[in-house]
Structure 1
Amino acid sequence: MTELTKDLLKIISETAIKLNRADELKKQEEKHDRRIRNIRLLLKNYRALVLHSERIKDDLDCLDETSIHHLDVYTISLESIESIMKSQKKTVAMIEFVNDKINAYKKSCNKEELKYFKVLEMKYITPEKYSAQEIAERINVDRTTVSRYLSRAVDDLHVIIFGIEALQFER
């Protein structure tokens, strides 16, 4: 059996450390990408989730007022009702959370940065849907500028939603 020299052990250790660092960096990048993707997914579905949450707020109030004895126990189980209510409450809570973060982002913008917020708002928040081209025409910029502004807004929102966790990747 061959003995490992000190130099060989040093090389093996340094290589293992480098591989571990590379693996950690890759995991951080994937986590960052997943978070950005999740923010974009939330924004893309924001209007539908808002409509849904407004509707289910009324449903939740109704269910809270309805006695369990008045429900048809042969078609609906208590567990399924509780599960539905839990899911609906999560939806309402998530929309309230996102609304708070969007408002925080707007407040954090200086006069120059408001253009990023405005593009985000027109693309995802306002009741009326706007395409990138329509936004570009309304604010008198190129369509690629709209995409750039939107990316900047999502990055800014990423920090507001995830806090210091969002910044650790950038160090």
Structure 2
Amino acid sequence: MTLKENEIEQVAAVAVRTALEYLEKERESQKKLKQDRRLRNIKLLLRHYRSFKMHYEATKEDLKELDEYLELDEFGDNELAIEAIKRSKKRTASMVKFIDKMIGIFKIMCEQSEKEEDKRIYQSVYYLYISEVKLSAKDISERHNTDPRTVYKDVEKACKTLSSLIFGVDSIRF
């Protein structure tokens, strides 16, 4: 059995169309995955915010001590390791300062909003991740007379806004 020329063209056209549809679906899937990853990164930053903040506070003194040790040349062969530690501490400090600034902007946005929901959203994020005393979702929901699930929904909304503040235009899905 042999295929005629027009049958071959039809098969090829279907194959090309199917391949293009598959590639488009893959591209959309990758874009969605990238967006989801950014939201997870925001949640991860929030979840570890307190420890980053403590690390940052300790870093100020650590950097001075490391500089003094390097000046005294007490580390010898370990100088590269010390420089790597300093770079890591400086990156953490920069990131904490940047996150603090973005959280400050987020706070202003929520407080200036006329919607009570926006104020609640900030307070939920604040008490869950930022304040010195961590409250549970249940405690926060009791303060706001809502369900604990509402606290987590508020966090989702906050993460979307914080994502755009932190990642800029890259956080927007077109």
Q: Normalization by structure 2: what TM-score?
A: 0.87
Counterpart among 135, 138, 158 of residue 133 in structure 1: 138
Q: Which residue of 1 aligns with 2:83?
A: 82
1:11-60 CA distance string (max 9 Å, x none): 12211111111111111121122111111111111001101101111211
Aligned residue type for 2:74: D
Does 2:36 match 1:33?
yes
* Matched residue SS, 2:172: helix
List structure 1 segments (4+ residues) > 4 angstroms apart after TM superposition.
1-4
Structure 1 residues 62 and 69: alpha-carbon distance in aligned structure 2, compared to 1, 3 A threshold: closer
In the aligned structure 2, how far is the partner of 1:95 from the partner of 1:67? 25
The amino acid of 2:155's aligned partner reads L
The 2-side partners of 1:96 and 1:68 are apart by 26
After superposition, the CA RMSD in angstroms is 1.9
What secondary structure is seen at the aligned counterpart in 2 of 1:17? Answer: helix
After superposition, the C-alpha distances for 1:54-84 in whole angstroms (9 at most, x for unaligned) are 11112113333x163524235x611011000
Determine which structure has the larger helix proportion and give its number: 2
Name the % identity: 30
Structure 1 unaligned runs (5+)?
A: none
AA aligned to 1:25 is: E
Q: CA deviation at 1:118?
A: 1.1
Distance 1:67 1:156 in 2: 43
Compared CA separation, residues 100 and 69, structure 1 to 2 (3 A)? closer
The gaps in structure 2 that reach 5 residues or longer are: none
What is aligned with 1:19? 22
The correspondence for 1:120, drawn from 122, 125, 129, is 125
Write the distance in 2 (CA, Å) between the matches of 1:160 and 1:88. 23
Q: For the residues of structure 1 that align with 2:80 and 2:108, how far apart are their CA atoms? A: 42
The Cα offsets for residues 101-144 of structure 1, whole Å up to 9 and x where unpaired, read as: 11122222313112211111111011110000010111221111
Distance 2:85 2:75 in 1: 15
Q: Structure 1 pair 162/126, CA: closer, same or farther in 2 (3 Å)?
A: same
Q: Which residue of structure 2 lines up, in the alignment, with residue 107 of structure 1?
A: 108
Matched residue pairs, number? Answer: 167
SS at match of 1:38: helix
